Structure 1
Amino acid sequence: MATNNTVFMTPEESGRVQTTVRDLIQKRRDQRGQRWTPYDPISLIREATSASLLQDLSSAAFGLGGAPKQSQDTIIAYGIGDPYLPSIAKLQDLVPMKLSDLCMETHHRGRVLSLRRVSPVVEMKSSSWAVFQGDSQNEVERLEIFLHTSKHGQNILNLGFEFLVKEPYYTLNNHGQPTIRIDHPSDLIFSTYNYDPESWRRRDRSEGLKWDYTSVECKELGNTALYDKNYAMALAHYTEGLRVLMMQGDDSSSSLKHDLYRNRSHVNLILERYDGAIADALESLTHGEDGSQKDLDAKAYFRAGTAAYRLSNFGDAKDYFNEQLKLLPGSRLASTYLKRIEVREHEMSDGVYDMDKALRSLSKTKGRPDAADFVRRTKVKRSSVSGKGLFAAEDIKTHDIIMCEKAFCIVLGNENEAFSALTCDVRDDAAIRVFSAGLHQEVVQKLMKNSSQTEKVLDLFGDYEGLGKKPCERDGIPVVDTFQIHDIVQRNAFGVGQQSEDEGYRNASTGLWIRASYMNHSCIGNAKKELVGDLMVIRATRRILAGEEIMHSYDTTSDYDARMEALHLTWGFHCSCRLCVVEAQDGPAVRKKRLMLDKDADLFIERTKPAGAGIISVNRAKRLRRSIEETYNEKRYKNLPRRALVGIEQWLQTAGCR
């Protein structure tokens, strides 16, 4: 049963999930060290082909694109709690290995495995897999990417022809089948891009795709791929063209080099690789004096400015657009962006927003209004409550805006990326949680695309330290520890509330706000949050003095026992604020009576409209209020909120009664 995006499981259902996860863990442990066993290649390839064909038929029948959507009657479940680090070794330092060298439940540190895909890709909701060939046609194995299956808008396994697996992990998948498992995207490198969908049918490596083009041909092929909107392939061709130029020692001022960088900047912008778009745009500058060179440099500055704006680096964006105007006076696009930047700067400095305009724009911006962060009234420092906290940098009046922040990443329930999963955490007595797997995927994607954003995410609290707080890169690829990001998302994400009629716990809207994540919990906090699309507005519920910690309630339910369970299960702590201490002293009998009365009040509010309510309804509401008040000890609850009274008090106020 699901209510308010929470799954309530019977003890029997919960036990079955926990038993399944524990049994799989034990099975893996029992097989640890067992040597790789050869498969029948034809049977395994036939299995993948059949599964892929069934998915294609299902997608065609229901009008779905890509991996099939979750059934309305099921929710994906998987175990967590046995994390391992991504490979941080350089390819040149790894020793080649064969499929026959694999050992079950082993991370083959210091080794690298070269594979070629020989089957279609089977795309599932939480993973993708295909059959891969080793050194000979008779050596094949299943390779499965878990959760983080996308790159450049396509499935990673479809992008590549030949792959290198860094320090491969050989284990059993969730169905108990042997597999080479990829949890960290940077552990899998495709050494040859795949631009032939049927390339997997060729069994002989000698028939593989060759990268033997000149830099001019790479540019032309990239332009063709760009025209066809095959952005991953365009990126690959432009990158290869630049590599060839570098190998040839070509003159750094060559127009071809500038063209390749400029074109790749455009593709990076489309693929939301904003760091790369800025770097390539600046590399493409000719600094020439003739008209055509100035036009090209103006185009490069525009791309750099657009990318910087989308990263919310408004100062850099302003500089780039001003440079564009110097080269191309009268550019309307640059002028428009500069006007928008002026508005963003006022938002950042004064916290003044046109909320009506933001609300009107939500349908056009897909819930992501154009706005800047206003955070200057806050600062982050160590908290006596827990870890780091958010503190007031100045005195703040009641109802004033404390801060406004755009989501670092948000996934709304009506978007294809939204899906939730059940996780069974073996670190916490196999605790079962509902987890926003879709948000986890999107955060990892964003960090893989723009490593400049990594450090601020890694600074957030998570149960697993992973690679630490500093960004890491190897072989030109950002290294993201997906287990570390999982725990950060689990502990710091915010529910957004229902955004569409078909939204439920399977596709709940969730987001990650960096600055807001530093707010610690208190049931009697001094702040509350509101949302305008993905713009979070934090207001003071009372006067806050400079240096005081800003806190809000993670769970606002009036039921003490349910609140304690939710705080422990979702955020991993027990609250000991003044309200919780007093409620604990009430004892189970009083709390149970209050809960029953609260439910009666909720039912009354649901069935009875306050507008035009008659004397009978008003008297019933007053009796409910009085009964609930009697469960609170006047002396002990002095100056403390009485949460069970909130709903019925609001009803009476709306009905015009005090």
Structure 2
Amino acid sequence: MASQHDGNTIFLSEQEAERIRNTVRNRVKECSARVGHEREPRDSQEAIRQATGASLLADMGGAPDPDITQTNGRGHGGTLPALAVGQPYPPCAISVQDLQPMKLADLRMDTHHRGCKLTVKRASPVVPLTARSWTMVQDPDDAGGDIERLEICLHKSGYGDEDVLESASGFVIKEPYFTLTDQGEATIRIDHPSDLVLCRKDIASGSLAEDMDATTAEKMARSCKDKGNAALAKQDLQLAHAHYTEGLKVAQQKVLLDTNADLARDLSRNRAHVNLLLDRLDEAKTDATASLIGKDDQRSKDLDSKAFFRAGSAAYSLGEYQEAKDFFDERLKLMPDNKEATAFLKRIRRRLHEQETGSHDLKKIRAGLSRARPRVDAATFTRNTRVGESTRRGRGLFATRDIAAGEIVMCEKAFCVVWGHESAALTAMTYDLRDDRIRVSPVGLSKSIVQKLLSNPSQIERVMDLHGDYQGDGKAASSTEDGPVVDTFRVHDIMSRNAFGPGSQFGEEGASNASTGLWIWAAYINHSCIANAKKEYVGDLMVIRATQAIASGEEIFHAYDESSDYEARQKALMTTWGFECNCALCAVEKGDDPAVRKKRQELADEADAFVAREPWTNAKRLTIVKAQRLARSIDDTYDGKRYKSGLPRLATRRIQEWLANATPRR
């Protein structure tokens, strides 16, 4: 959350904050009182009528959103969604086929129906709200009978921002959670996207009967391939992927592999292309390599060249540059005169050099950035560092060699970043029941991280290894036959404790649309107000430089919050990162008389205003004298005996930087 001196600070009135707390507490109390109670049937016609009306209002922008709360702030005033966190539960880790079927009538209030699955069909239009979507559903064999509300919270959109509930006509809900909304209405609630399996009516089952002959199987697989190609031509990537997947289920059966293995290769090659477009890089690489033929005829070489390109592109986007080089080398062997492969290999060699040496051309990288292209094409460099145990701080990052002051410690490309000007950006007020705190949270980043992990499960373990308050089942990664499983509550807590903001590099932004990102390796760097390193951002590339000499084996620190106000700094560290700093500087500042700290901050605010008002270039001598006087006044608030050499005087930092740059007019 921004400090009180930030012009984009968001704050709530006491009445609004209390309203949020009471809404959540009342819901928890009501749920506790009704645990295990039988579900009360709904009037199906009335339920559908209400959903239809709410959907129409939402489409016209006139629907009241129950999640929205009123906020105020210098630089921001308006509305943000308010969400409750702090009641996590694990996602289902069992395949659909191993779950027992149940009906709507079997639902019990505030119950996670473990070991069960609920199959439903959509019975009303979808109501899209800011932080959730909902619709009415029925048992698939019940025409006009029993009906219930189904909502998906926060993670309500998939590829291309398509609403998940609108993308299918039916659903299988794994271990359904039946509870109450904040408004007291019964609902089946989905928090983990992996708990919802879509049933598209335009996708036929690709399962084979044991006695099916090869001719029938081939006909089914070719039909799926043709439908996938048609969907791809219309840029319906999700549908194309679904058709190719169904085709592969058939084509990979032994009865067909024995007679026409090329059909499975064709489907894999086509799905690899779609997966690249969907950023499903793990599967794209697997599909591409599975499609390789390995024969010497020209047609096979042409098809394998495509496969190596797709596998290499996926590996490159995953940051696996050596593997990408191997794939493109193979492509060049098949097509020695291919200019595209030659150009791609040149890019890969640059990435490998950056990865090995940290020699990034930052000036050139900056020149290539824009609002339309805010993400850099660069490699991560971490050879100077290792993760190790830090005294009283858990894990930390340590130098593997001596690093000189001003030298680059590491460069890291963001695992995931959401820029404030992008549609994925979403800020919410979150109320955490665990510590009774209301925070401003970049939940859009959490959504994006979850989607990236679901699309690329090879990355799950890296993210889940980071510190978060909620540990879930303790497993770093899991999956079922239905696909990867991601615990969204763990991701939220990891994001909350490890994300940083790369700043307003591409236009104005405030607390309600701040750019935020997750840098996995940099997340291991611990905080200290007496830091030996400092971060800067070039697009989504975080560059860490040493601010003083760092010896091999020494822990690397940077400042999570650089406020010169001791109270504001401690509050921000506790609220956002969950700890109180007890470094040597904080220990001394804590011992200052509160009146002295207040005077120091008033002078620091005056100095900040001076720096903002007076350019240092060609400054008048009288202006420099005024700045020197102001710097001395701030410096006088520090007790020389207590603030020994080596302890920074944060309140003087900006005015001292101004003085270091200032030159008198001639």
Q: Is the 8 A contact 2:173 2:197 kept in 1?
A: yes
Q: How does 1:97-112 map to 2 (within 5 A)?
A: 97-112=102-117
1:18 match = 21
Q: Is the 8 A contact 2:619 2:663 kept in 1?
A: no
- CA offsets per residue over residues 440-462 of structure 1, 9 Å max, x none? 00000000000001111011000
2:33 match = 30
Q: 2:167 aligns with which of 155, 159, 162?
A: 159
1:203 match = none
SS of 2:170 mapped into structure 1: strand
Alignment identity in percent? 49
SS of 1:620 mapped into structure 2: helix
Mark the CA change 1:415 to 1:394 in structure 2 (over 3 Å): closer, same or farther. Answer: same
Q: Is the 8 A contact 1:5 1:508 kept in 2?
A: no
How much has 1:123 moved relative to structure 2? 1.6
SS of 1:3 mapped into structure 2: coil
1-side partners of 2:485 and 2:38: how far apart?
29
SS of 2:78 mapped into structure 1: coil
Q: Is the 8 A contact 1:36 1:100 kept in 2?
A: yes
Q: 1:549 aligns with which of 555, 558, 564?
A: 555
Q: Is the 8 A contact 1:412 1:499 kept in 2?
A: no
2-side partners of 1:81 and 1:492: how far apart?
17
How much has 1:414 moved relative to structure 2? 0.6
2:609 match = 603
1:181 match = 189
How much has 1:52 moved relative to structure 2? 2.1
2-side partners of 1:615 and 1:358: how far apart?
38
TM-score (norm 1): 0.93
- CA offsets per residue over residues 187-218 of structure 1, 9 Å max, x none? 1112335589xxxxxxxxxxxxxx99811111
Q: 1:125 aligns with which of 124, 130, 135?
A: 130
2-side partners of 1:576 and 1:460: how far apart?
22
Aligned AA (2:476): K
Mark the CA change 1:118 to 1:195 in structure 2 (over 3 Å): closer, same or farther. Answer: farther
SS of 1:557 mapped into structure 2: coil
2:326 match = 319
How much has 1:383 moved relative to structure 2? 1.0
2-side partners of 1:152 and 1:339: how far apart?
31
Q: How does 1:608-627 map to 2 (within 5 A)?
A: 608-627=614-633
Mark the CA change 1:301 to 1:596 in structure 2 (over 3 Å): closer, same or farther. Answer: same
2:637 match = 631
Aligned AA (2:92): S
Q: Is the 8 A contact 2:403 2:549 kept in 1?
A: yes
Structure 1 window deviating more from structure 2 (26-35 vs 292-301): it is 26-35
Mark the CA change 1:468 to 1:498 in structure 2 (over 3 Å): closer, same or farther. Answer: same
1-side partners of 2:184 and 2:659: how far apart?
58
2:241 match = 235
Mark the CA change 1:274 to 1:501 in structure 2 (over 3 Å): closer, same or farther. Answer: closer
Aligned AA (2:347): R
Structure 1 window deviating more from structure 2 (130-139 vs 523-532): it is 130-139
1-side partners of 2:219 and 2:555: how far apart?
61
Q: Is the 8 A contact 1:78 1:174 kept in 2?
A: no
2-side partners of 1:615 and 1:399: how far apart?
31
Q: Is the 8 A contact 1:455 1:470 kept in 2?
A: yes
1-side partners of 2:497 and 2:430: how far apart?
14
2:262 match = 255
1:207 match = none
Q: 1:360 aligns with which of 358, 367, 372?
A: 367
Query: Does residue 1:140 correspond to 2:169, yes or no?
Result: no
Query: Does residue 1:483 correspond to 2:489, yes or no?
Result: yes
1:558 match = 564
Aligned AA (2:497): R
Which runs of 5 or more residues in structure 2 are unaligned? Answer: 64-70, 205-216
Q: 1:53 aligns with which of 51, 56, 59?
A: 56
- CA offsets per residue over residues 501-554 of structure 1, 9 Å max, x none? 442111110000000000001000100001000011000000000000001110
2-side partners of 1:6 and 1:596: how far apart?
19
Query: Does residue 1:414 correspond to 2:405, yes or no?
Result: no
1-side partners of 2:407 and 2:491: how far apart?
33
TM-score (norm 2): 0.91
Aligned AA (1:73): G
Query: Does residue 1:495 correspond to 2:498, yes or no?
Result: no
2:383 match = 376
SS of 1:410 mapped into structure 2: strand
- CA offsets per residue over residues 377-419 of structure 1, 9 Å max, x none? 0000111131110000000000000000000000000100011
Aligned AA (1:117): R
1:580 match = 586
Q: 2:90 aligns with which of 85, 88, 92?
A: 85
2:282 match = 275
Give the aligned length. Answer: 634
Structure 1 window deviating more from structure 2 (399-408 vs 48-57): it is 48-57
Query: Does residue 1:440 correspond to 2:446, yes or no?
Result: yes
2-side partners of 1:651 and 1:326: how far apart?
58
1:206 match = none
Mark the CA change 1:301 to 1:72 in structure 2 (over 3 Å): closer, same or farther. Answer: farther
How much has 1:281 moved relative to structure 2? 0.7
2-side partners of 1:382 and 1:499: how far apart?
34
How much has 1:333 moved relative to structure 2? 1.4
Mark the CA change 1:475 to 1:602 in structure 2 (over 3 Å): closer, same or farther. Answer: same
SS of 1:179 mapped into structure 2: strand
2-side partners of 1:336 and 1:413: how far apart?
33
Structure 1 window deviating more from structure 2 (568-577 vs 645-654): it is 645-654
